[in-house]
Amino acid sequence: MKELNVYTLILFTVGFFFMISCEGIVPEAPDEEDLLDGPIAGLSYEEQDQFLKGDIAFNDDIFTPKTGLGPTFVAASCGSCHPGDGKGHPSTTLIRFGQTEPNITLNLKGAPQLQNRAIPGYQPEQLPEGIPSMKMTPPAVTGLGLLAALTDEQILGNADPNDEDGDGISGVPNYVTPPDYFIPEDHHQPENGKYIGRFGKKASAVNLLHQTATAYNQDIGITSTFEPKDVYSNLTIDPEVSDQVVRDVVFYLKTLKAPLQRKQNDPDILRGKEVFNILRCSSCHIPTWSTLESDIDALSNKTFYPYTDLLLHDMGPGLDDGATEGSAETYEWRTSPLWGLGLSPDSQGGKYFLMHDGRAQSIEEAILMHGGEAQNSRDQFQSLSSVEKEALIKFLESL
Amino acid sequence: MKKNLLLFLIFAQTTVTVNAQVDSSLFKDTRNDTLSAEAMNMDAVYERPFFHAGTSPVSVGGYIEAGYQYIGEDGITEGHTFRIPRFTLFVGSSLHPRIKFLSETEFEEGGKEIAIEFAALDINFSHMLNLRGGIIMNPIGAFNQNHDGPKWEFVDRPIAMTKMLPATWSNVGFGLYGKQFVNDWGFGYEIYLTNGFDNSIIANGENRTFLPAAKENAERFEESSNGQPLITGKLAVKNHNIGEIGLSYMGEIYNAFEDDGLILDEKRRLDVFAIDFNTSLEKTSTYLTGEWAWVMVDVPETYGQQFGERQQGGFLDIVQPVLRSTIAGFNNAVLNLACRLEYVDWNVGTFRETGANISDDLWAIVPGVSFRPSAQTVLRLNYRYMHQQDILGNPPAKIAGIQIGISSYF
């Protein structure tokens, strides 16, 4: 009888575990709309495979001194600066310098990016005295493929350099000299050998290969056939990352899904969206775009909601750091996409670090830092009732 | 008596001859149960079942662990996984009553990694003075030396002792040890000088200060990475009625600060302190064992906050026998309920830029059931639930699942 009881107890225990379905044992997945990572829908098996390879290279591959890290660097992996593919933290903020006016590059050692960390035994780079610099908090990297799939014509369609429509908004593209490995596509519309930049806080990277290869080089100190010069010695050295890995990462960035808006039918959020439009925030943070044909089917003919125009705007003296890139003025910044804004704290350690350098610690602070072409919108925001302000913030948090 | 039996079960100290071996008359168990009462954690390498044939001085033994798990993280699982985490062989010999040799070779994950974890010669001069030389297990904490699978009620090893401290951490070196019992009280010490760590503890694929990275450097069995010895020492006190407590230290200059006579970097120190204990509660026969360690590493200030200068972590195992009986023909079989609580913080400190806490930590709770048909064999069923946060303290990854395992000496 005693043995029977024991068997019963054992069977009960084992049965208890197996009665819980396997799916029940594993913690539930967060809602899709609460996550930034994950592939865009519609990838083929081959594309999913390449996405996974890129995911590993981006998030899991950690460089060490043995595998090429540094000697001077900012971070040891892509994922260190873009946790969960989201915005970065002040501890990984980049410092860029070397250009104080449009189209004129100073011949400064170490420019355009400060590598403020070094492997043991080496000294990190020092910012030259008296040279203006700008800090840049790493951006979220989701939905970039959709932005990359837009044509120059679409971007230029919103440019109004001379403010001919008199609305006080005069978006301009940042024309930059592309790297040697840049291969123009049919839709590109160069001007004097320069191409429209669309990635980065100053829109200084013409495409995702440019962005990725320079990030490996300037952020991690990793050379490739694309960027063969070591940032420490300024000499060419053997590639430390393969072309394939770089291309896998580019593919990963291209095919990361776009952030999804949450609670879009909430009345407060709908009211906030109205306020957003009334304040004409949407003049620069253009909500809706559609792609044409893309080399990746899943990116073709897609409508998406990044809330950006990919153009540079005068943001006023408060955001003029005295440094710049490409043809941008020091006070001009690319309209930051607002998609995923409400998920920023999930990648920034529970807090907001907004604007180009993370100086704003709330959405309201960020709005109040807008000047220049956004001055009118900011002033109108300040005159909103607290209910309207709250609705606007709720809407922005839902993005 | 009950307490001793429990100790005996937990540490799997064999007291019975093995009946199920083929032609078992060829083998003889060299152990007897009088040793267990005066056994301390420092004796773990010898507190195992060994067998020897006839009058041969050579003894052999080993243990195997195998298991199944279904674990997932935030809704994503790798599915059903069967594993053989380790298969370990012991070979020992006693050329003289006071000269012993023991080796432990481990095959991890079906031979994916093969490591000599212990291969040392012990010369006994007196109870309090023994010389040990060879590949030794550094006595930091208790788990590093006392790690055999059949001794534990949990499928996984404690995370703090394997992913913060580098169990099983062994090195080439020499040292002294000894112990003395007076009535109910026992005192033991160990002190060793060995080769040790290297730059990999702050330059590794984990993107954090990670002492176990040094295990991958097999050259430490050939030469020191920097010519500086790793000092490991431990003091332990045991009372038959209370339990055992150990205090241990391990430290050295870890980095390759010099090569070929040229200075390459400042000398950078690593210091580790640990406390371990085990006891059983008289009234309930509940067995408690735990360990906590603190790690301090001199990381270059300009290297990045990702690499913590301080770490801490440990575990507490609570094991409650609920039934001792003859079960399915196994005499003295025991059924235990067990629970492990564990915590690791790989980066203790705050961000320079924001003053906010640096996370990079993990906690886990692992309830389970274990069944011991004999003292040397354990069947375990665990449910693991843990939270792991990245360095920034973003929403934690939630990891959970079941683990089933068997482990047995043979």
Check pLDDT > 60 for residue B336: yes
Lowest model confidence (mean pLDDT) among B21-30, B87-96, B279-288: B21-30
Average pLDDT over residues B157-177: 95
Count of structural domains within chain B:
1
Average pLDDT over residues B162-190: 95
Angle at B176 (CA atoms; ends B171, B177), nearest 5 degrees: 105
Residue of B nearest to A84 (CA): B394
pLDDT at A14: 63
A286 three-class SS: coil
Which residues from chain A sit within 8 angstroms of residue B392, using beta carbons? 83, 89, 91, 347-349
Among B399, B403, B364, B401, which Cα is nearest to B380's?
Answer: B403
pLDDT at B113: 85
Q: Alpha helix locations (H) across A256-328?
A: 267-278
Is B402 within 8 Å of chain A by CB?
yes
Across the interface, whether the CB atoms of B300 and A118 are under 8 A apart is answered yes
The residue among A10, A60, A93 with the most chain B CBs within 10 A of its CB, best to mutate, is A10
Residue A269 lies in a domain: no
For chain B, give the mean pLDDT: 89
Give residue B109's domain range: 2-409
How far apart, in whole angstroms, are the C-alpha atoms of residue A174 and residue A325?
8
How far apart, in whole angstroms, are the C-alpha atoms of residue B296 and residue B317?
25
Q: Identify the CATH number of the domain in which residue B289 sits.
A: 2.40.160.10
Average pLDDT over residues B138-154: 95
Lowest model confidence (mean pLDDT) among A41-45, A52-56, A163-167, B123-127: A163-167
Average pLDDT over residues A178-199: 95
Tokens 């593209």: give the residue.
Answer: A173
Residue A391 lies in a domain: no
Check pLDDT > 90 for residue A281: yes
Average pLDDT over residues B156-168: 95
Give me the interface pTM, i.e. the ipTM: 0.90
B324 three-class SS: strand
For residue A106, name the pLDDT band (cuts at 50, 70, 90): confident
Across the interface, whether the CB atoms of B392 and A28 are under 8 A apart is answered no
Across the interface, whether the CB atoms of A91 and B371 are under 8 A apart is answered no
Q: How would you class B177 by CB atoms within 10 Å of its CB: exposed for 0-12, middle for 13-18, buried for 19 or more?
A: buried
Check pLDDT > 90 for residue A376: yes
Check pLDDT > 80 for residue B7: no
Check pLDDT > 70 for residue B35: no
What are the phi and psi torsion angles at A123 (to 5°)? Answer: -105, 140
pLDDT at B28: 41
Q: Alpha helix locations (H) across B2-155?
A: 2-10
Residue A398 lies in a domain: no
- Distance from the first to the final alpha carbon of chain A: 64
Give residue A370's domain range: 32-260+280-383
pLDDT at B109: 85
DSSP A337: P
Lowest model confidence (mean pLDDT) among A293-302, B32-41, B360-369: B32-41
For chain A, give the mean pLDDT: 93
How far apart, in whole angstroms, are the C-alpha atoms of residue A355 and residue A370?
9
Lowest model confidence (mean pLDDT) among A119-128, B13-22, B392-401: B13-22
pLDDT at A314: 96
Across the interface, whether the CB atoms of B265 and A89 are under 8 A apart is answered no
Of all residues in chain A, the percent with pLDDT exceeding 70 is 94
pLDDT at B78: 86
Average pLDDT over residues B359-385: 96
B137 three-class SS: strand
The residue among A1, A60, A64, A352 with the most chain B CBs within 10 A of its CB, best to mutate, is A64
Are the beta carbons of B37 and B4 closer than 8 angstroms? yes
Which residues from chain B sit within 8 angstroms of residue A7, using beta carbons? 327-328
Stretch (H or E) spanning A393: helix A386-398
Across the interface, whether the CB atoms of A120 and B203 are under 8 A apart is answered yes
Are the beta carbons of B86 and B149 closer than 8 angstroms? yes
Count of structural domains within chain A:
1
For residue B10, name the pLDDT band (cuts at 50, 70, 90): very low
Across the interface, whether the CB atoms of B325 and A9 are under 8 A apart is answered no
Distances (CA, A) of B365 to A14, A95, A343, B159, B289: 19, 42, 29, 11, 15
B96 three-class SS: strand
Is B398 within 8 Å of chain A by CB?
yes
Check pLDDT > 50 for residue B18: no
How far apart, in whole angstroms, are the C-alpha atoms of residue A130 and residue B162?
49
Of all residues in chain B, the percent with pLDDT exceeding 70 is 91
Instruction: Examine residue A71 and say whether the peptide bond preceding it is cis (omega within 30 degrees of 0).
Output: yes
pLDDT at A11: 62
Which residues from chain A sit within 8 angstroms of residue B264, using beta carbons? 121
Of all residues in chain B, the percent with pLDDT exceeding 90 is 76
Structure confidence by residue, pLDDT tens digits, A214-248: 999 999 999 999 999 999 999 999 999 999 999 99
**Nearest by CB: B305 against A25, A62, A91:** A91
b/e map B334-363, b = 16+ CB within 10 Å: bbbbbbbbbbbbbbbeebeebebbbbbbbb
How far apart, in whole angstroms, are the C-alpha atoms of residue A198 and residue B48?
66
Phi-psi region of A300 (alpha: psi -120 to 50; beta: other; left: phi over 0): beta
Which residues from chain B sit within 8 angstroms of residue A28, using beta carbons? 74-75
pLDDT at A17: 59
Residue of B nearest to A6 (CA): B327
Of residues B238 and B39, more confidence is placed in B238
Distances (CA, A) of A373 to A172, A240, A276, B101: 12, 43, 16, 81
Cβ contacts from A onto B, under 8 A = 130
Across the interface, whether the CB atoms of A91 and B351 are under 8 A apart is answered yes
Residue of A nearest to B368 (CA): A13
pLDDT at A320: 96
Structure confidence by residue, pLDDT tens digits, B212-262: 999 999 889 999 999 999 999 999 999 999 999 999 999 999 999 998 899
Which residues from chain B sit within 8 angstroms of residue A55, using beta carbons? none
Across the interface, whether the CB atoms of B356 and A118 are under 8 A apart is answered no
Stretch (H or E) spanning B175: strand B170-182
Among B11, B2, B17, B106, which Cα is nearest to B372's?
Answer: B11
